Amino acid sequence: MPWKRATTGYAPSTVQCPPVLPTIRAATTLSVNETSWLKVRQPNTVWALRDFLSRANITELDTNAYIGNGTDENVMPNIGIAISGGGYRAMLNGAGAIAAFDNRTTNSTGQGKLGGILQASTYISGLSGGSWLVGSIYAQNFPSVQEIMMGAPNDFGTLWQFNDSVLKGPAELSVTQYYNNIFDDVNGKEAAGFNTTITDYWGRGLSYQFINASDGGPSETFSSIANDPGFLAANTPMPIIIADERAPGQLMIPSNATIFEFNPWEMGSYDPTTQAFAPLKFIGSNFSGGTLLDRKTCITGFDNTGFVIGTSSSLFNTFYLQINNTDAPQRVKDSISQILLKVSQENSDISDWPNPFYGFHNETNGNAASKTLSLVDGGEDLQNIPFHPLIQPLRHVDVIFAIDGSADTSAPGANWPNGTAVVATYRRSLFDSSDIGFPSVPDQNTFINLGLNTRPTFFGCNASNLTEPSPLIVYLPNAPYSYSSNVSTFDLSYNDSERNSIIQNGYNVATMGNSTLDLQWPTCVGCAILSRSFNRTRTAIPGVCTQCFNRYCWNGTVNSTAPAPYQPTNLIKSSGGASLLNPVSFAIAMVLAAWVILFT
């Protein structure tokens, strides 16, 4: 069941500060919280990793003996999953990949399946549409994607209902009730003395679809994930949400924009500009120069989960500019109009946060003199896959599964990825002063000409060729395996059939149609996971892994000529296996799960 939190409403609250006062820390290390959590998480990943690798059939290697009990850090791989932005398309495509990686998904742990990778992962990052998926799952205490799709067994049936768009609200409420609720929530925050923008309305709307359809989860905070029983026991990966800073006076977001992350304990940036973190629970408190000016009074509740994922996707909040074309109450329309009068049209997509880094790192932090911190959609710098938190050297991630649901191509084959997000991160890494490594990748024309945007590709296979340590990237671009999932980023409504088809296609992207396009695909995934481990332990690469790397690793070939118009066709004729929504198999799985709980 979802873990229930105390209801305090959307407006941040004034509370007595804890005995140990919250402070701002320099981002020269991981937080104490993350370091402590990692010590618990790693042992929890061993069983799932061993189980997956035993099914991956990496011949010439006894994977159980190689992994052992998981105590050798040189052996144990550190896995990250990154889910791109791209609206509902990216969210649903990412959901399919997560279902493929989840050993709770029906039929995901058979020979040649990918179930267990999720349970073996340490980190999962989301950006914009990807943040909706991450935020939604963690707000419900980490159910499986299949459970949410089925609406069972824990009453998830009102989540992910996209028949009625975020502009109309859930079926349970009239449009008037929906907007009145949102207005009251946002107005309450403003009455409490905090700035509000369209992102507040946007975040509250998203919350009805992804957190709680009845009231939008007004008290659900991202920092409260740290107290969820499953996360507290390190039974799930660590979630991270990404947003970009819009510096004062900026209209266009540059490629070197400061990237902020939200995790269950903190909000901040490892970039050399801000290079600091603040305790997320107490964002909104009066920080100056790294300490509290008021040592008795703190603010909690500013980090509403809907506001966090709304911040990461604030590019889309401009949909609320269409408010006059809806049946919203006049007071709501007037309120949004008043907000627009306060800021220029160009600034309508910002999200205003109290700046906890006021007066901190004045020599590098260009926003140190401002009391507010303006954040925008994490993909506005073109880095639409949230690699940034996972390539931080402090986190020692070995392999990143990059789920790309971007819309880079134009008609006739519009809204498919062409590697732009990967290229953007690579190019930024070339000028990064933080010793961040990222493997070489080709230009976008090469992605299309070589078909790297229609099938999985590994980047960074030869670690000895890298100037800085870097994870191996398993690039999984959205492609039409079983369904043309290239819906527009700005489509806001989907019936259940469309929703399920896009999720199923995402599942097929991750599994290559349940290995129907390559029976050896799970083996190759296992080899990718162990690649950096092999390097550290100087283990001879198994012959089957060499075959996989020859097949999936980008070999440096470039073809930058202008490609023909991109117009892909479906890669498989059927779903490539049992549907994620097969009610019979799902019911059997639920019965078996209940039997195990009751009798073991």
CB 502 within 8 A of CB 484: no
Annotated domain spans of the chain: 1-30+129-378, 35-120+384-600
Identify the three-state secondary structure at position 590.
helix
pLDDT the model gives residue 468? 72
For residue 329, whether the previous peptide bond is cis, meaning omega lies within 30 degrees of 0, is: no
Q: How far apart are CA 358 and CA 60, in angstroms?
A: 57
**pTM for this entry:** 0.93
Task: Tell me the β-bridge partners of 80.
Answer: 123, 400
Q: How far apart are CA 469 and CA 464, in angstroms?
A: 9
Q: DSSP H helical segments within 369-481, as ranges?
A: 420-430, 444-449
For residue 565, whether the previous peptide bond is cis, meaning omega lies within 30 degrees of 0, is: no
List the structure tokens of 343: 């800021």
List the structure tokens of 231: 């996360």
Taking 3-state DSSP, the helix, strand and coil percentages for the chain, each rounded to the nearest 5, stand at 40, 10, 50
CB 575 within 8 A of CB 482: yes
pLDDT the model gives residue 144? 96
pLDDT the model gives residue 1? 35
Q: How far apart are CA 589 and CA 586, in angstroms?
A: 5
Q: How far apart are CA 218 and CA 145, in angstroms?
A: 23
Q: How far apart are CA 430 and CA 436, in angstroms?
A: 9
Q: How far apart are CA 87 and CA 73, in angstroms?
A: 37
pLDDT the model gives residue 52? 97
The 8-class DSSP code of residue 43 comes to H
Helices and strands (DSSP H and E) totals, the chain: 17, 16
Ordered DSSP codes for 165-213: -TTT--TTS-HHHHHHHHHHHHHHHHHTT----HHHHHHHHHHHHHT-T
Per-residue pLDDT of the chain (600 residues; tens, 9 = 90+): 333 333 469 999 999 999 999 999 999 999 999 999 999 999 999 999 999 999 999 999 999 999 999 999 999 999 999 999 999 999 999 999 999 999 999 999 988 799 999 999 999 999 999 999 999 999 999 999 999 998 865 667 789 999 989 989 999 899 899 999 999 999 999 999 998 888 999 999 999 999 999 899 999 999 999 999 999 999 999 999 999 998 766 666 777 899 999 999 999 999 999 999 999 999 999 999 999 998 889 999 999 999 999 999 987 655 655 666 666 678 777 776 666 555 545 455 578 999 999 999 999 999 999 999 999 988 889 999 999 999 999 999 999 999 999 999 999 999 999 999 999 999 999 887 667 889 999 999 999 999 999 999 999 998 776 667 899 999 999 999 999 999 998 899 999 999 999 999 999 999 999 999 999 999 999 999 999 999 999 999 999 999 999 999 999 999 999 999 999 988 886 545 557 765 444 443 333 333 333 333
What's the half-sphere exposure (Cβ side, CA atoms, 13 Å) at 171?
10
Q: How far apart are CA 521 and CA 511, in angstroms?
A: 7
Q: How far apart are CA 185 and CA 212, in angstroms?
A: 15
User: 38: which residues sit within 8 A by CB, 6+ positions away?
Assistant: 30, 122
CB 128 within 8 A of CB 421: no
Q: How far apart are CA 77 and CA 532, in angstroms?
A: 7
User: 523: which residues sit within 8 A by CB, 6+ positions away?
Assistant: 56, 57, 58, 544, 545, 548
Q: How far apart are CA 570 and CA 563, in angstroms?
A: 20
Q: DSSP H helical segments within 489-559, as ranges?
A: 496-511, 521-537, 543-552
Task: Tell me the β-bridge partners of 292.
Answer: 287
CB 92 within 8 A of CB 69: no
Q: Is the dihedral of CA 217, 139, 386, 502 positive or negative?
A: negative
Q: How far apart are CA 212 and CA 359, in angstroms?
A: 38
pLDDT the model gives residue 251? 60
Q: Is 595 exposed, middle or buried (0-12, 13-18, 19+ CB in 10 A)?
A: exposed
CB 250 within 8 A of CB 380: no
Q: How far apart are CA 456 and CA 470, in angstroms?
A: 19
